[in-house]
Chains A and B, each alone.
Chain A
Amino acid sequence: AAGVIQSPRHLIKEKRETATLKCYPIPRHDTVYWYQQGPGQDPQFLISFYEKMQSDKGSIPDRFSAQQFSDYHSELNMSSLELGDSALYFCASSSTRTEQFFGPGTRLTVL
């Protein structure tokens, strides 16, 4: 069965650079969620989209923005990167707003 696809899987950036993370949800899933998981931490909700509109917003820094496109894929744009942004970034998709299917994550390292 198709799963959530995230790209890239690994990303290394310098401080103050910009990063773009992509997420391709499971076909026919209309909701995408983004989570950030710091080292040894639990995942923290960032933002979600339902039918291409932002549906919920969590503790997402103003330096981050995201959108969902007409084909339902989503991108998380991160600017002015800081060392503390180093984390695993997960995308999840859902068609029911209950069970979420997570992608493998993008490991972002900021040097």
Chain B
Amino acid sequence: SQQGEEDPQALSIQEGENATMNCSYKTSINNLQWYRQNSGRGLVHLILIRSNEREKHSGRLRVTLDTSKKSSSLLITASRAADTASYFCSRGSTLGRLYFGRGTQLTVWP
């Protein structure tokens, strides 16, 4: 992957549980963005965290960033069946192109 690695590659949980996905990257960043993709559909922007930020919240989403470890994590609290999707982290370049990780396939069982 151009971006780095995400783990786990697949995560299966029950509704109401929390889901944590991790992302590592290889080079310095201006920002890190998380996207969701329902099967075969378009990518939906979830949250952007800048390199000078350590944590960011949006509804049930919490993103952390550790630039010293070149890693980020996405936490989805109180998951729902509708959260079932692939989740990608991406690093943005100065010209705007996004480098995506391989993604985590999250399955939330009712």
Contacts and interface: CB of A to CB of B under 8 A. Distances in A.
Interface of A: 4, 31, 33, 35, 41-45, 48, 55-56, 58, 88, 90, 92, 94, 97-105, 107
Interface residues on B, range: 20 to 34
Given A98-B31, A99-B48, A45 B99 contact: yes
21 contacts: A33-B96, A33-B98, A41-B102, A42-B2, A42-B88, A43-B43, A43-B98, A48-B95, A48-B96, A88-B40, A90-B42, A97-B92, A97-B95, A99-B33, A99-B45, A100-B45, A100-B98, A102-B45, A104-B41, A105-B40, A105-B42
Interface of B: 1-3, 31, 33, 35, 40-45, 48, 88, 92-93, 95-103
Contacts of B93: 56
Contacts of B43: 43, 90, 92, 102
A45 B98 contact: yes
B40 A98 contact: no
Nearest to A31: B96
Most buried by B among A33, A48, A99, A107: A99
A98 B98 CA distance: 9
Contacts of B102: 41-42
Nearest to B44: A102
Nearest to A42: B100
Contacts of A48: 95-97
Nearest to A34: B97
Contacts of B98: 33, 35, 43, 45, 100
A104 B42 contact: yes
B53 to A, nearest CB: 13
